[in-house]
Structure 1
Amino acid sequence: MTANQPSRRTAIGLLGAAPLATGAARAQALRIPDAVRPGGSFDKHIAQLVADDKFSGTVLISYRGKPVLSRAYGMADKEKSIPNRVDTIYPLASASKPFTGLAIVQLAQQGKLKFHEKLGAYLDGYPAETADTVTVHNLLTHTCGLGDPTRDDDISTTVHYSIAEQLAAMRKRLQSQKPAFPPGVKHQYSSAGYEVLGEIVARVSGQTFWDYVRDHIFRPAGMTDSLYYVRPQWLASERFAHPYMYQSDGSRIDGLRNLDKGGSRGVAGTNSARSYIGTGGGNGFSTAPDLVRFAHALLSHKLLNPAYTALYVSGKFPPAPLEGSPPRPGGYESLMAYGPISGIFHDQRVISHGGGIAGGNTNWSVYLDMNWTSAILCNYDLDPADFAAIIDLERRAITGVT
């Protein structure tokens, strides 16, 4: 296990201890709660999980774009003895869904699509029950009724070896689906709905979904390490974290090198490395520093104008708890926005999204009124209760709630 710490000069500057600090700098430093500083309660909590071999990954908490707590633990690739670093590249799982939502909102800002339009206005080949009833808004807010393919054993155990092969299989699957309930009447988490949104991005923009996100989100935000990488790139580069999937015998294996194996938590047999490339439904790749850059670009209106930024981050529909997820922490309310989850934690607005695969858990949060951003990227399976406790402790540390 390794722990990357800021240099002494950086740490002194961040903690406001420089002897010639101005009054303004000291005032800014006073806004940093002890709980989130190096050696604080949040740092100690993660360190204990590492000591218990329950966490491997990167943690970055920043204030006004500057790192306050920056840590990396465990191995990105155990076979090659490559440690995780602060800038290690991780598969985000569903934590990349907000990029899909943002692409849709950008196209709406450009006047190229409408949120109230039905799916059939943009894509061919869907049954009338879907094409004529499901709106773009329904897809964005998980109120479309199209389900979650990651919970289907047959789909999750299929290995794809090219983009064309994977896209053909995905489109065939999506076009066979019909809403499980009238769209708009309730919330049911739907990765399939976000896969459809990725297809809409491609059709409306004239680019592939991955190229559109690269050109209109990652590059403008300065997210130089973020991309929808294909599996051979993931396997070949030392920059990537490998997913270490928990097995029923208590061991962990490298999912990227063992496509015939699956994780023992969640859907039996699931292994996200079997997909050749991520989709609108998830598994874009990013780093903790790039996610901080994303937050800055979003809030400085480099990605959307102010009006559409507000539309993107504002809550629209109350989400139903995911099956098997622990109860939400006290003082927290949430609504689905157009990609992120829009929450209020003890009177502070937060947008966030998490993700989980066999051998990985991720979460990023942007505290809209406080200038804080956090990224927690892990290449171990985390127990849902342990992950919820990390997020709750982060929220409390940043907002100063005891």
Structure 2
Amino acid sequence: MSNLLINLRITEGELDVEPEAVEMNAGQLNKLVSHFHYLIKLDKIQAASYLVARHGKIAAWKSMGRLHGTIDKGDLQPDSIRKISSITKAFTSVSIMKLIEDGQLYIDQPVSTILEEFNTPVHKDITLFHLLTHTSGILPVTGYYNEPYPREWWGVNGMENWIRKVLQGPLICQPGDAYNYSSAGFALLGEIVSRVSGIKYEDYVLANIIHPLGMTRTFFDVPEHLRSEVCSVEASDIERLSVQDDNSLNPPRSDGGLYSTLYDMWRFGQMLLNGGSFEGERILGRKSVDLLTRRHLFNIPAYHWGGQIKDKGHALGFDLAINHLAYESVGTYQLEGAGRSGFFVDPVENLIVVFFVPSTSSWVPESVLGTKQIIWSSLL
């Protein structure tokens, strides 16, 4: 593999400790460099960056590869900004939990008590719990069933009355009967945050999560002076940044609209691992974090992009490790974003892992599964 490691620069972020200080094997962690180099040279991924922290200390933080997939604009940096796509759902879930803490919502509340469009015989039994756990039966994301034709027809003719458009047609399943991954469900949760809080979803997240945590490079709209630091796979990704869409008819960007960095996502993960607080800022109470991140689905089936899963474990908005064959501890809560990015919090090992492995491929198993195996097997 050594002949594949030529002319690829590695950049390291500032560490708090060496890996051994937090009981991690540095030699094993360093295998990530050759692992990612190999995938980059094979054109399976464009670039890679990762941050590993244990016991609240950053022990590994490196980047390599191209910042842009189609434009020669330099290298991916440890603090480069990247769209985190579906990892945004974690911020939506925390927002819902904050409103529950404030007594303004409750977890099994019927959505129809907030959104009048749900007051129908078909939708009246759908609750916040169903939306948070992807068990509402509402419009699974395009491609979830490996279907050859797109189904997100509801925005083709504009977003006016988008909630009614989302609810057209039959449910995929009865509420609570099966897991069907639904970004539309999280758009609805964002609308609920807006209605209940009285401010735009995006403004609520910024004011109550991102700014208090000091996440200074996390945005829904990347400022113009920072757009050159955004990692993109295709030129169109950068072009979209220059379009400021203020259309009030659009759904909230609560299913996948955030841009962030490895370091900012570590701060968010450390807040959760700390029981809701970070550097003196309380975002959630300890019991709220427990409710948010523990398992809530048992013996619930899922199709899940070709996988016939009989028992889909899930927390509230977070996927959940329940497979005893996986390297990460049972109870690790996690999310992955299209493109691709990963966010993992392992409470058993007091470990946070964040990585960006951008690629035009929809799925490169080695970039996610292989990466996790290398990291978790470094634990001493």
Q: Which bracket does the TM-score occupy, shorter chain normalised?
A: 0.7 to 0.9
Structure 2 unaligned residues grouped into runs of 5+: 1-7, 144-148, 278-282
SS state of the match for residue 185, structure 2? helix
Q: Alignment identity in percent?
A: 21
Task: Call closer, same or farther: CA 1:105–1:130 in 2, change over 3 Å.
Answer: farther
Deviations 1:77-114 (A, max 9, x none): 35351321111111111121111111111111111111
8 Å Cα contact 2:273-2:345 kept in structure 1: no
Partner of 1:352: 334
1:335 matches 2:313: yes
Q: Which moved more, 1:129-138 or 1:200-209?
A: 129-138
Task: Call closer, same or farther: CA 1:379–1:159 in 2, change over 3 Å.
Answer: farther
- State the 1:3 CA deviation: 1.8
Q: Separation in 1 of the partners of 2:178 and 2:365? A: 26
Q: Separation in 1 of the partners of 2:214 and 2:11? A: 23
| 1:189-208 correspondence to structure 2 within 5 Å | 189-208=181-200
1:14 matches 2:18: yes
- State the 1:157 CA deviation: 11
Tell me the amino acid that sits aligned with residue 260 of structure 2.
S
Partner of 1:381: 360
| 1:311-330 correspondence to structure 2 within 5 Å | 311-317=291-297, 318=300, 320-324=302-306
1:394 matches 2:376: no
Q: Separation in 2 of the partners of 1:238 and 1:229? A: 13
8 Å Cα contact 1:33-1:397 kept in structure 2: no
Partner of 1:75: 66
Partner of 1:290: 264
- State the 1:201 CA deviation: 0.7
Deviations 1:191-244 (A, max 9, x none): 1111111111111111111111111111222211112127xx579711211233
Q: Separation in 1 of the partners of 2:313 and 2:118? A: 29
Q: Which moved more, 1:233-242 or 1:120-129?
A: 233-242
Q: Separation in 2 of the partners of 1:275 and 1:334? A: 38
Normalised TM-score (structure 1): 0.76
Q: Separation in 2 of the partners of 1:237 and 1:396? A: 32
Deviations 1:112-138 (A, max 9, x none): 111111111111234504541111100
1:84 matches 2:64: no
8 Å Cα contact 2:79-2:263 kept in structure 1: yes
Task: Call closer, same or farther: CA 1:181–1:273 in 2, change over 3 Å.
Answer: farther
8 Å Cα contact 2:89-2:254 kept in structure 1: yes
| 1:261-300 correspondence to structure 2 within 5 Å | 276=245, 279-300=253-274
Partner of 1:362: 341
8 Å Cα contact 2:302-2:312 kept in structure 1: no
Q: Separation in 2 of the partners of 1:204 and 1:279? A: 16
Cα RMSD for the two superposed structures:
3.4
Structure 1 unaligned residues grouped into runs of 5+: 17-27, 245-253, 260-271
- State the 1:154 CA deviation: 6.7
